[in-house]
Amino acid sequence: MTSTEPRPGLKSPTPTRDQTGLAEPAGTPTGSGAPKVAARQGALSAVGPGPQAIDGAALLAEVEAFHRRFNIFPLESAYVAVALWDAHAHLIECFDSTPRIAFLSPEPGSGKSRALEVMETLVPHRLMAANATTNAVVRAVSAPEGRPTILFDEVDAIFGPAAGGDEQLRAFINAGHRRGAGTLRCVGEGSIQTPTEFPSFCAVAMAGLGSLPDTILTRSVIVRMRRRAPNESVEAWRLRIHERQGHALRDRLSKWAAVVRERVAETIPEMPEGVSDRPADVWEPLLAVADAAGGQWPERARAACLELVTAAKKDDKASVGIKLLCDLRDALDGAHRMPTAHILASLNALDDSPWADIGGRPLDARGLAKRLAEYVTADNEPIKARNIKTGDGVAKGYYAADLTDAWTRYCPLTPGKSATSAT
């Protein structure tokens, strides 16, 4: 994206006023000779009669400022993502997918619940679903008053290590990410039951300790919360006072959404370079909202997208199999083959890997063979140990040529190395 203005990065935009008294997005040229900026560059997002026109960029800035009063997020990009997520909930019918947003922290007292409390006042048809059953949530999505925005607090009580997990609820959250997905339930009395599909598509926000199932994380914007530092402070949240302020913003978001809905539904936003597949599904609705708002939001949204997608990849706890492939690539370190005994010695010596303690024992040749056999070579054959001639005879081991295809598909590149350097 090109612009004559300096790159705004992730700084909060400051609206200006034109001669009619309407807020203009920050960075919009002013003066009688200034050109009008089109769609993505900051045109008024909703044009109405006189002073009733709604400036989408300024409205999102107010939503962001409302969060900043009560929430300390770890990254500036998180404020951008949260404000866009609040607005996207009012436009959910325009999209094929809806991102989940997850406020996670390793310790309590990190502001996760407060983030949901603030968000609760800004989204349409909010439904706090703490300790809710899957059947209740499924039926709530079909409620006649409208598709709810579901907010799960203390989600670690459902998916945490001691909770055992709720597979039905996990499946519902996963399915509801995509338009058209449904949940099948039997409806009726006694033995007269009719299989009935209930829609699952709805916006979902979550807060909890620890992490979430991988299938939910990949469908989510992740905000890693932390306790406030001594030099960080927020305004005290008072529901009886601040709920009215949040609802006023919510109502304005709803009016703005009604005006831009048709344009948003017909637009597919441009993705930042390198963002594709599931991350693109997650961010497409948020970028579409930013483009509709204009001002600095399109650039801020794409900068936030890159930062949070990159952070999620760094935090991603890859499967044990992928971890094994990556560690094995590093163990070979350019060699074209290596005996199994040498590979195991290298893997078990790694301090930051689990191989020295797999079920109470170090990884052995049988365990290595079993895990690698789940992946295939470039010829679509399971990866297996082969004979390697050594100075002491013949030993079993693995060839880089058999592993290269799996490395290319599953392992991120290390700086300065190509995917095929080992061969």
DSSP secondary structure, 323-365, as one string: HHHHHHHHHHTT-SEEEHHHHHHHHHT-TTSSTT-BTTB---H
- Parallel, antiparallel, or unpaired for β 192-199 and 220-224? unpaired
SS3 of the chain: helix, strand, coil, percent, to 5 = 40, 15, 40
Q: What is the pTM of this model?
A: 0.73
Contact 126, 151 (CB under 8 A): yes
Residue in the block written with tokens 């009726």 = 188
Ranges 158-162, 324-328, 348-352: which has the least confidence: 158-162
Least trusted range by pLDDT, from 112-126, 207-221, 239-253, 256-270: 207-221
pLDDT digits (tens, 9 = 90+) for 61-89: 999 999 999 999 999 999 999 999 999 99
Q: What are 397's strand-pairing partners?
A: 339, 386
Compute the distance between CA of residue 173 and CA of residue 171 in angstroms, rounded to an integer: 6
pLDDT mean over 29-49: 39
What pLDDT shows up at residue 132? 72
Return the pLDDT at 161.
62
